[in-house]
Structure 1
Amino acid sequence: MTKTVLITGGSRGLGAETAKQFAQIGYNVVVNYFQHPDLANKVVADIGADHAIAIKADVRDRAAVDQMTKEAVDHFVFELKQNFYSFKLSELSAVRSKYSLTLLKLWNANSMGKLKRATIKGTLEEWESWFLGTDKDGKPKKWSAGRFRQRVLGVSMKELGKIYPKTIFYLTTEKTGRKVTGYQLDITPVKTVLEI
């Protein structure tokens, strides 16, 4: 049976990229959006309508989430709730920064929903598109590498480090000469219990 994943905020940025990645490895994808139906429909078109559906829902509204789930089940004709993952509300309620939420989504996607060991690697442009999104022309927003590392990656790793104190976030800057070309973030939950 083909698994189905529900991507909240799936119409743009990291959500759209995550939706496409899951489609590439064989998942059906529910692209949830709240304000951008045109962008959500483009993601569905990129994936293919046989394997994706765009559904508008405010995920803060339980009734809207239930309706979205019903629409997805009706569309894919099987029980979706057994096959998608998401965050616990207690995890989401502790997140204060939009950058921390983006990093949490990235970690979740790269560890297949388990918040376990993950390596996230990309070019500077990919990292900027994941965290900063795009401008009105659809081009990734750009910051200097130093500003991006400090205000985006530094802030999000520090905040998630407080939420998940038994996890190590190790960031490696990739360079060509003096120019920053990308980052690799290794996330490793640490087991502190010794078996005797």
Structure 2
Amino acid sequence: MSLLLEYLPEPADWAGAEMPTVLAERVAAVHTASLWLPGEAAEALAGSSLASLSGAPAPVWITNPSVYGEVLAAHLDAYGPESVPRGHLDLKPDHLRRRPGGEVVLLDVESVRPDMTGLIDVVTLPAVLRQACHELSPDRVLNLYLPATAALGARWTAPTLNAALRAYATATGLESLHGLDR
């Protein structure tokens, strides 16, 4: 499923010290969006909820289905059974834009799929921030993401997110978590 947003010509200025926090907050907003869906939208997406995905076969692109179950279990703990996992954002500096009123938003969300979790976006955050000249340690990136998701209703802790990241890497064949697996 692709998400189309209006075109916003004004890029966000990545130079500001607040931009790593803003990006983590925007990514967290996408990852937790299904927690805030109105009733009709939640009903329409119920077939893609964590409760439904937990009983379904693993997606074909998963190389280790038994470990993928651990990823979904971690998401169930963090978001609850009604949540619809969303992820695989097209994160790059060009896609952070400003609305005319000044609000910073993510633009050009490449793919928001129910068989993808947001964990790949967490893995991508340090690289995207480096591209934008923000050198943050993996611990700092996680310390931005965790409170951003908590403020929006997720119940990740550092140990549960780290375990989920390691399980995700194993389930998908991802070779590196770039230090996020502390």
TM-score, length basis structure 1: 0.30
**Structure richer in helix, relative to its length:** 2
Larger radius of gyration: 1
**Structure richer in strand, relative to its length:** 1
- Structure scoring higher RCO (CA < 8 A, sep ≥ 6) equals 2
